[in-house]
Amino acid sequence: MLKVLVNVVLLITVASTVETQQASTASSTNERPGNCNSNSAQLDRVRNEASAGIEKGEVIIAIARLGKGETSRELNGRRLYSVQAYLSKRAGLPEKAIVAGEGVRAEGYGRVELYVGGKLLNVLFAKRNEILCVECCGIDENYYLYRREKKRRPGSGMKLRS
């Protein structure tokens, strides 16, 4: 419940920030999806930049936004999961220091924006309808997070064998 509340508050309070910062985001970053290597390196940079503030109670805010041609909000969830998992399980940040939410649709590629101390620090772009790879190298395709997003056929839900 608390998580939902946090997300709702974030959507309200961050939406305007996200809108106003989009221009600077677009102009200040290379708007191309990175690969597993560059994504993990950039998340390490976010960890390094944020760690001092986190000790004082600050948080990293991760905002996922769908890109052009993307419809499934599940993509946002998966991308945020990858970022949160890396920052907490690989980069050693406390989970409570990472707050995730969804923003409005972005122009161009889908993305996860990372705010530290109220400022946009980094943007990770994702290829259309793909998640963010943050594991280097040789991702495990069997891990569901890394499977390609597939359209589900009607009535094709999982069936239990009798």
Partner 1 sequence: MTPDNPDFDPSSILTDNERQGLAAWEQRVQNTLDEASAGASDPAPAHESNAPEHSGGESAEPGEHTDSGGDPELPAHETTPQKPIPSNAVTPNYTPEMAACDRNIAAIFGGSGAVAAANGFEPPGLSSKYPGYRGDVVGANGQIYPGHLTYSAHIYGNTEGTGSGDLYVPAGGRRTSGPSPTDAVVTFYYSQLGSQSNVTLAVFHVGDYGISSAGTRVRIGTIGGRGGGEDPSYVHSHIEIYKGNVRLPALNARAGLRINPASVFCK
Binding site for partner 1 (CB under 8 A): 29, 32, 34-38, 40-42, 44-45, 47-49, 51-52, 55, 90-94, 122, 135-140
- DSSP element (H, E) containing 123: strand 119-126
Nearest-angstrom CA–CA distance, 41 and 133? 12
- Distance of closest approach, residue 45 Cβ to partner 1, in angstroms: 4
Nearest-angstrom CA–CA distance, 111 and 6? 20
- Distance of closest approach, residue 47 Cβ to partner 1, in angstroms: 6
Contacts of 65 (CB under 8 A, 6+ apart): 18, 76, 102, 103, 104, 105, 106, 110, 111, 112, 113
Q: Which lies closer to partner 1 via its Cβ, residue 22 or residue 102?
A: 22
Q: Which lies closer to partner 1 via its Cβ, residue 21 or residue 122?
A: 122
Nearest-angstrom CA–CA distance, 46 and 122? 7
Nearest-angstrom CA–CA distance, 7 and 133? 23
Q: Which lies closer to partner 1 via its Cβ, residue 29 or residue 129?
A: 29
Q: Which lies closer to partner 1 via its Cβ, residue 42 or residue 129?
A: 42
- Distance of closest approach, residue 160 Cβ to partner 1, in angstroms: 28
- Distance of closest approach, residue 38 Cβ to partner 1, in angstroms: 5
